[in-house]
Amino acid sequence: MKTTFNDVGLKLTETRKYAAGAYDSRHGKSTIDLTCPFCDADTTAYVWSLAGGGKRCANEDCGALFGSWGCAYKLKSMIHSGNEDDQGRAA
């Protein structure tokens, strides 16, 4: 199940600020390194893709969506179901 901007509009998502690394235009393509605030995966995004439809987290199991304003979105249902296996027993 992937997060979409439609879900964001329906307020089904949790919003977290993501950390963006250095802007890189060495190869004539403007990319930026992002760290997913939900799963800590490193994702490289084209700046135009962020400004357009958003960028998907590189972690297939995460499915978070990066927007162009420093915010990432993920379905609340995905966050809670994903955490149960990893942290439920410890808590």
Q: Letter for the amino acid at 60?
A: E
Structural element, H or E, at residue 56: strand 55-56
Query: Among residues 59, 67, 71, 82, which is the contact residue for Zn ion, using CB under 5 A?
Result: 59
Selected range binding Zn ion among 5-13, 15-23, 49-57, 81-89, rule: CB under 5 A: 49-57
Start-end of H helices in the chain:
5-9, 47-51, 76-87
Question: Is residue 36 a contact point for Zn ion (CB under 5 A)?
Answer: yes
Q: Yes or no: say if 27 and 80 are a contact pair by the CB < 8 Å rule.
A: no
Query: Among residues 38, 45, 55, 75, which is the contact residue for Zn ion, using CB under 5 A?
Result: 38
Binding site for Zn ion (CB under 5 A): 36, 38-39, 41, 57, 59, 62, 64
